[in-house]
Amino acid sequence: MTDHKGQAGKPALKAESRVYMEDTILRMQGIHKWFTGINALHNVDFELKKGEVRALIGENGAGKSTLMKILLGIHQVDAGEIEFMGKKVRFREPKDALDAGISMIHQEISLIPTMDVAENVWIGRENKFSKGPFINVKARYQATKDLFEQLGIHVDPGKQVSVLSVAMMQLVELARAVSYNSRLIIMDEPTSALTNEEVELLYSIVRKLTKQGVTVVFISHKIEEIFTICDSVTVLRDGQHVRTCLLNEQIKMEELIQMLVGRDVSHSFVKQETKIGDVVFEAKNFSRKGVFQDVSFQVHAGEIVGFSGLMGAGRSEIARAIFGIDRPDSGQLFMHGKEIRNTEPRKAIRNGLGMVTEDRLRMGAIYTMSVKHNTTIADLFRMTKAGFVKRGEENAEFRRMSEKLSIKYARESDLIKSLSGGNQQKAILGRWMLTKPSFLILDEPTRGIDIGAKMEIYQLMNQLAAQGVAILFISSEMPEILSLCDRTFVVREGRLVHETDRAHTTQEILAEYAFGVSRAKE
């Protein structure tokens, strides 16, 4: 299985295997991956030809990263086979993949900022330039310089990485990948931080590499850009392979978007009709410099308003500022027509807001605490007498919530981290139901939880809306938005770019506005 190991560090062998190689460089077949009960990848096939540039696209959570992480050995495959350069492989860690000729450039920069460029490029391979314990710094510098010249990168190898722009750092990472003689380079949204000129530079480097027979995979969210640089595209959706095809004139952007979102929208769950009441919450010209601008919207009693769009579009940032976690720069907020100022979450809570935050691990659950204490923490100030917790009341309130939400746990004193993701999320939801907010923000409340728990959370949202709670529902999953929201805003680059009501919301519209594809016929 791990026959690539004997090959590590022996370029002669590699050259030999190139003779054997046909056109196909990578073949992943029948890939399955489960994450604690969730089928993250289901029977995915993925094949790459030598020298092609392949786009890998899909919505958040479609399985793009998981597939690539399996290839690199960051995750282990549960079923399926991987063949690279004609040999069966199964890498245990990225180092093995790197040695075999696969490297990945992640979205997050993985350079060491306090070291210089040359040191970063050759890190871990210092013995190439060393005699005994001493490193020949000059030789390393020259090797880096040669490498950069060959690629057309204009960076002084002696510069400290921390002074480089993000774009330059990405190019340095790319150069490092090339220096490993990688035959397959995976780039995770490489252009997201680049200016147009830098993107051009990147493209020219990519073209140079493909001429040398290097294969490149582009994970991207920008539909337009993949048409410029990629030869072919693979679309993943919900962990399944949808289609792989060449990118030529015959395929249109709209088609790709339909593949992305899928046509069979399961309306298995629909929001019940509720009486839409008066305006509960309103934001006017709400802005935070460089994050979101000019956000204005209203939410009525009994209404579920959706924020759709891609991760990083600014949806969570708007919600965080509304709830007082971050500071806005300008704009006004109103509850029931009265202006409020949420300078801290505790003020927002007293103003009748509640928020299930996006990142449960970092912002939601307190892992050192029990499920009970996690559920009651936001409402604890109401359950005290002279500073002492009224334990009878706390127990009663917790039990009421855990029954209502059917939270499953062995003992109330169990740490919340011992619960399943769905039950953790239900406990966090319970935390906010206890405070009885009139405006509740739910930021990706169903991410990473199983379908059963999802359904229960939808049910609860329905109940809350029926009780007259105004709900702001942020989600990357379009089916959720379609089936639950009375009105939906699409957020892109920090702005509310589109508003639709239930009757007019389709996945295609949401995707078009989210991806920024201009609708020519309008």
Partner 1 sequence: MKREEKSAVIQNLLMGNKALLIVIALGVILSIASPAFLTSSNLLNVVRQVCVSTLLSIGFTIVLSSGNMDLSIGTLMGLCGMILAKLVKEAGVPLPAAILIVFGVAVFGGLLNAAILSLFSVPAFIVTLATQSIFKGVNYLISDLVPVSGLPSELLFLGQGYLFGIPVPIYIMLLVVLAAWVMMNRTKFGRYILAVGGNAEAARASGINTKRINFGVYICCGLCAGVASIIMTGRVGSAQVGAGVGMEMDAIAAVVIGGTSMSGGKANVWGTLFGCLLVGIVNNGMNLLGINPNWQVIAKGFLILFAVIIDVVSARAQAKRLNRIAQMQNS
From 357, 425, 446, 475, residue interacting with partner 1 (rule: CB under 8 A): 357
Report the nearest approach of partner 1 to the CB of residue 287 (Å).
22
Q: Measured between alpha carbons, how far is 78 from 63 in angstroms, rounded to an integer?
A: 14
Task: Convert residues 21-60 into a mask of x (bound to partner 1 by CB under 8 A) and - (unbound).
Answer: ---------------xx-----------------------
From 122, 281, 323, 473, residue interacting with partner 1 (rule: CB under 8 A): 323
From 196, 362, 518, 521, residue interacting with partner 1 (rule: CB under 8 A): 362
Range 195-234, binding partner 1 (CB under 8 A): none
Contact between 344 and partner 1 (CB under 8 A)? yes
Q: Which two tokens stand for residue 7?
A: 């090959």
Contact between 366 and partner 1 (CB under 8 A)? yes
Stretch that binds partner 1, among 89-97, 273-281, 292-300, 349-357 (CB under 8 A): 349-357
Indicate the residue among 177 and 349 with the shorter CB distance to partner 1.
349
CB 236 within 8 A of CB 70: no
Q: How many residues bind partner 1 (CB under 8 A)?
A: 34
Indicate the residue among 339 and 367 with the shorter CB distance to partner 1.
367
Report the nearest approach of partner 1 to the CB of residue 321 (Å).
13
| Beta pairing partners, 241 | 236
Indicate the residue among 191 and 357 with the shorter CB distance to partner 1.
357
Range 376-435, binding partner 1 (CB under 8 A): 377-378, 380-381, 384, 387-389, 391, 410, 418, 431, 435
Q: Which two tokens stand for residue 358?
A: 């996006």
CB 189 within 8 A of CB 181: no
Indicate the residue among 218 and 323 with the shorter CB distance to partner 1.
323
Report the nearest approach of partner 1 to the CB of residue 173 (Å).
30
CB 487 within 8 A of CB 306: yes
Type of residue at 430: G
Q: Measured between alpha carbons, how far is 518 from 353 in angstroms, rounded to an integer?
A: 36
Report the nearest approach of partner 1 to the CB of residue 465 (Å).
23
Would you tell me how many other CB atoms lie within 10 Å of the CB of residue 414?
Answer: 13
From 221, 237, 315, 373, residue interacting with partner 1 (rule: CB under 8 A): 373
Q: What angle do CA 42, 43, 48 make, to 5 degrees?
A: 120
Stretch that binds partner 1, among 141-149, 245-253, 367-375, 467-475 (CB under 8 A): 367-375
Range 132-161, binding partner 1 (CB under 8 A): none
Stretch that binds partner 1, among 14-22, 341-349, 449-457, 460-468 (CB under 8 A): 341-349
From 109, 251, 253, 325, residue interacting with partner 1 (rule: CB under 8 A): 325
Report the nearest approach of partner 1 to the CB of residue 353 (Å).
10
The DSSP symbol for 8 reads: T
Contact between 170 and partner 1 (CB under 8 A)? no
φ, ψ dihedrals at 59, nearest 5°: -70, 175
Type of residue at 266: S
Report the nearest approach of partner 1 to the CB of residue 409 (Å).
12
Stretch that binds partner 1, among 197-205, 281-289, 310-318, 338-346 (CB under 8 A): 338-346
Indicate the residue among 293 and 424 with the shorter CB distance to partner 1.
424
Q: Measured between alpha carbons, how far is 63 from 375 in angstroms, rounded to an integer?
A: 32
Indicate the residue among 109 and 415 with the shorter CB distance to partner 1.
415
Q: Which two tokens stand for residue 4?
A: 């690539």
Indicate the residue among 97 and 340 with the shorter CB distance to partner 1.
340
Q: Which two tokens stand for residue 418?
A: 């011992």
Would you tell me how many other CB atoms lie within 10 Å of the CB of residue 92?
Answer: 12
Q: What angle do CA 147, 148, 149 make, to 5 degrees?
A: 95
Exposed/middle/buried for 12, CB within 10 Å: 0-12, 13-18, 19+? exposed
Report the nearest approach of partner 1 to the CB of residue 228 (Å).
40
From 345, 448, 468, 516, residue interacting with partner 1 (rule: CB under 8 A): 345
Indicate the residue among 199 and 363 with the shorter CB distance to partner 1.
363
Q: Taking the CA atoms of the chain, what radius of gyration do you get in angstroms?
A: 26
Range 463-502, binding partner 1 (CB under 8 A): none
φ, ψ dihedrals at 304, nearest 5°: -110, 115
Q: What is the DSSP string of 436-476?
A: --SEEEEESTTTT--HHHHHHHHHHHHHHHHTT-EEEEE-S
Residues 6+ apart with CB under 8 A from 359: none
From 340, 365, 371, 469, residue interacting with partner 1 (rule: CB under 8 A): 365
Residues 6+ apart with CB under 8 A from 300: 276, 277, 278, 279, 280, 470
Indicate the residue among 258 and 420 with the shorter CB distance to partner 1.
420
Residues 6+ apart with CB under 8 A from 213: 50, 51, 183
- Chain centroid offset of residue 72 CA: 18
What are the residues binding partner 1 (CB under 8 A)?
36-37, 323, 325, 344-346, 348-350, 355, 357, 362-369, 373, 377-378, 380-381, 384, 387-389, 391, 410, 418, 431, 435
